[in-house]
Amino acid sequence: MNPSERNLRAVNLPAHWAPDSWRARPALQMPTYPDAAALESALAELRQLPPLVTSWEIFALKQQLAEAQEGKRFLLQGGDCAESFSDCESGLISNRLKVLLQMSLVLVHGLRLPVVRVGRFAGQYAKPRSADSETRDGVTLPSYRGDLVNRPEFTAEARIPDPRRMIKAHARSAMTMNFVRALIDGGFADLHHPEYWNLNWVGYSPLANEYQQMVTSIGDAVRFMETLSGSEVHNLNRIDFYTSHEALLLPYEEGLTREVPRQWGWFNLSTHYPWIGMRTAAVDGAHVEYLRGVRNPIAIKVGPSVNPDQLLRLIDVLNPEDEPGRLTFIHRMGAAQVADKLPPLLEAVRRDGRRVLWVCDPMHGNTESTSNGYKTRRFDNVRGEVEQSFDLHAAAGTRLGGVHLELTGEDVTECTGGARELTDADLERAYRSTVDPRLNYEQSLEIAMSIVRKQNQQTKASPHA
Ligand code: PEP
Ligand code: CO
């Protein structure tokens, strides 16, 4: 069946599903809005607003993810832990885009594979929390749940869930997306001009030499091909960039769930590639119920407490037809646990013969607190979890098809280690995240380079694999 036939086959409609059928299931991590009428009026407004992405972009991404499942592409997914409304600003957005473009250049060059580029942005505004409330000095208030829901300041007024923030989040997502699209369409990602996306660090970083050599060799290859063919190599100025966020606040996601002309079924048009977080991944929970019915490619975080049976049931519910590109598992075990926890899951899915894309998130299993009170992650653990994951997949006969990272294009000091060997004492210099610690631009590039080194070692070890 070719893809267009598949799109027209309405029998694929998931049984007993509607954009609001999640409401009959236990919905974890939802705020309690104090004013039901205000909530209804915000949702009514949201349902009228234009979508942020289109169904054909969603299908194009699904096709690329299907290729990643077959080992023909590598997924790079990255961005902030939590976007904030005040970070919707040109410098921050373009720097984040720059670091993702630089990393993808390193990966394309080193892995000899096209990269699927997906940002954690233009909608990453809702955060799961370990507790519903927070107590400071004897005062207890609702937890901050991301800018989509309330504000981070520790005051009663700031913490009240405000449904108007959904309208604001939609607008900020649209502005972010519009700016990213304009940059890309205007030639920002042009391979003839990698200097467009240079960040300041290129002038002084310990990694700069290696990166510059790569840029020079790509430039030589492009010019060589152009000389041979006597004309410009086309498409080097055009790339695809997709968006993703955690589909956590279900009333918001429902408001942007739409039907489109000439397609059967429903689409989440707030983002290309929504994912389900670890805390809301129960197979009979509201989040799985909601996402099983939309036609987007979807991802689900897999933590150390998931067992093989649960994983297979998730596949049954989320991808019953074994559709290529549909389902991604993002494992996030932590460097200390991955060798124990991952192999039984890989083995179960492989034995079952199901199609999934395996991606490693080396951030969320490696969070720790320093003695001076910062939430941080050690670079060696982040790199270690990715490297171990490559080996564990190779041993299980499966394939690691991508990475999911929290990163920024700024010179922050939130994760320790890396080429500059940041210590706990460095954290206070430039710690800006309101939620989880991100890799800074240099640590991000270093991860991309270590992925390439690891892959090349593996290819040398088993050249016919
Ligand atoms: C996140 O991606 O920011 C997150 C909260 O991850 P997880 O659901 O894996 O804990
Ligand atoms: Co996070």
What is the tens place of the pLDDT at every residue in 59-73? 999 999 999 999 999
Chain-centre distance of CA 26, in angstroms?
25
Q: Tell me which residue has tokens 């919707």.
A: 88
The residue count for the chain: 465
User: Can you say whether the dihedral through the CA atoms of 189, 435, 375, 303 is positive or negative?
Assistant: negative
Residue whose Cα lies nearest atom 3 of ligand 1: it is: 81
pLDDT, tens digit, 9 for 90 and up, residues 25-39: 999 999 999 999 999
Query: Would residue 17 count as lying in a domain?
Result: no
Per-residue pLDDT tens digits for 369-401: 998 889 999 999 999 999 999 999 999 999 999
pLDDT of residue 260: 97
Rounded CA-CA distance 331/304 in Å is 8
Token pair recorded at residue 253: 């996601």
CB 437 within 8 A of CB 202: no
**1 pLDDT exceeds 60?**
no
- Which residues fall inside 5 Å of ion ligand 2, going by CB? 81, 436
**Relative to the alpha carbon of 277, which ligand is closest?**
1
pLDDT, mean of residues 122-147: 96
Q: What's the CA-to-centroid distance between 228 and ligand 1, angstroms?
A: 48
pLDDT of residue 5: 45
Beta-carbon-side half-sphere exposure of residue 254 (alpha carbons within 13 Å): 18
Identify the pLDDT of residue 224: 79
CATH number for position 261: 3.20.20.70
Res 208: pLDDT = 80
Residue 301 assigned as binding residue: yes
Is residue 357 in some structural domain? yes
- pLDDT (tens digit per residue) in 305-351: 999 999 999 999 999 999 999 999 999 999 999 999 999 999 999 99
Q: Does 96 count as an annotated binding residue?
A: no
**Least confident interval from 98-102, 183-187, 301-305, 443-447:** 183-187
Give me the mean pLDDT over the 413-431 stretch: 92
Kindly tell me if the per-residue pLDDT of 7 is higher than 60.
no
| pLDDT surpasses 60 at 419 | yes
- Distance, CA of 329 to CA of 297 (rounded, Å): 11
Pocket test for ligand 1, best of 145, 148, 246 (most atoms within 8 A of CB): 246
Which bound ligand lies closest to the C-alpha atom of 278?
A: 1
Q: How far is the CA of 91 from the centre of ligand 2 (A)?
A: 22
State percent of the chain over pLDDT 70.
94
- Whether 9 shows a pLDDT value over 50: the answer reads no
Instruction: Indicate the pLDDT class of residue 231, thresholds 50, 70 and 90.
Output: confident
> Is the distance from the beta carbon of residue 128 to the nearest atom of ligand 1 less than 6 Å?
yes
What average pLDDT is seen over the chain? 92
Structure confidence by residue, pLDDT tens digits, 267-304: 999 999 999 999 999 999 999 999 999 999 999 999 99
Phi, psi of 11 (to 5 degrees): -65, -15
Residue 233 has pLDDT above 90, yes or no: no
Residue 417 pLDDT grade (very low, low, confident, very high; cuts 50, 70, 90): very high
- Does any domain span residue 259? yes
Query: For the segment 196-215, what is each residue's pLDDT rounded down to a tens digit?
Result: 777 666 666 777 888 888 78
What separation in Å is there between the alpha carbon of 2 and the centre of ligand 2? Answer: 38
Q: Which atom of ligand 1 is nearest to the CA of 124?
A: 3
Q: Which residue has the tokens 């976007």?
A: 83
In a domain, 197, yes or no: no
Q: Does ligand 1 come within 6 angstroms of the Cβ of 141?
A: no
Residue 55: pLDDT above 60?
A: yes
Q: Is the pLDDT at 6 greater than 70, yes or no?
A: no
Which among 328, 385, 434, 436 is the best mutation to test ligand 1's pocket, defined by most ligand atoms within 8 Å of the CB? 436
- For residue 276, the enclosing domain spans 45-125+165-182+240-461
Segment 451-464 mean pLDDT: 84
Amino acid found at 226: E
Percent of the chain with pLDDT over 90: 78
In this structure, what token pair is assigned to residue 11? 């029998």
Comparing 194-198, 407-411, 449-453, the range with the smallest average pLDDT is: 194-198
Contact 286, 23 (CB under 8 A): yes
> How far apart, in whole angstroms, are the C-alpha atoms of residue 111 and residue 456?
8
Rounded to the nearest whole angstrom, what is the distance from the C-alpha of residue 324 to the centroid of ligand 1?
Answer: 25
State the closest ligand 1 atom to the C-alpha of 330, by its place in the atom list counted from 1.
Answer: 9
Q: Is residue 172 predicted with pLDDT exceeding 80? A: yes
Statement: residue 220 has pLDDT above 90: no
Q: How far apart are the C-alpha atoms of 364 and 228, rounded to whole Å?
A: 47
Strand partners, 246: 275
Evaluate if residue 225 carries a pLDDT over 80.
Answer: no
pLDDT of residue 2: 47
Sorted by sequence, the CB contacts under 8 Å of residue 312 that are 6+ apart come out as 348, 349, 352, 354
Q: Give CA 332 to chain center in angstroms.
A: 13
Average pLDDT over residues 78-97: 95
| Ligand 2 midpoint to CA 436 (Å) | 5
> What is the mean predicted confidence (pLDDT) over 171-180?
97
Indicate the number of domains in the chain.
Answer: 1
406 is in an annotated binding site: yes
Q: Residue 246: nearest ligand to its CA?
A: 1
- Work out the angle between the directed axes of helices 338-352 and 308-318 (0-180°, nearest 10): 50
In a domain, 132, yes or no: no
In DSSP notation, 14-82 reads: PTT--TTGGGGS--TT----S-HHHHHHHHHHHHHSPPSS-HHHHHHHHHHHHHHHTTS-EEEEEE-SS
Q: Is 404 in the pocket of ligand 1 (CB under 6 A)?
A: no
9 is a domain residue: no
E runs forming strands in 163-249: 242-243
pLDDT recorded at residue 372: 84
The answer to whether residue 426 is domain-embedded is: yes
Nearest one of 260, 331, 245, 360 to 291, comparing CA atoms: 245
Question: What pLDDT, on a 0 to 100 scale, did the predictor assign at position 215?
Answer: 80
**How far apart are the C-alpha atoms of 226 and 267, rounded to whole Å?**
41
- Average pLDDT rounded to a whole number, residues 399-404: 98
Q: Residue 245: is its pLDDT beyond 60?
A: yes
3-state helix, strand, coil in the chain (%, to 5): 45, 15, 40
pLDDT at 194 over 60: yes
332 CA to centre of ligand 1 in angstroms: 9
95 within some domain: yes
> Where does the pLDDT of residue 131 fall: very low under 50, low under 70, confident under 90, or very high at 90 and above?
very high
d(CA 78, CA 275): 13
Q: How far is the CA of 413 from the centre of ligand 1 (A)?
A: 20
3-class DSSP assignment, residue 437: coil
- Ligand 1 contact via 437 beta carbon (within 6 Å): no
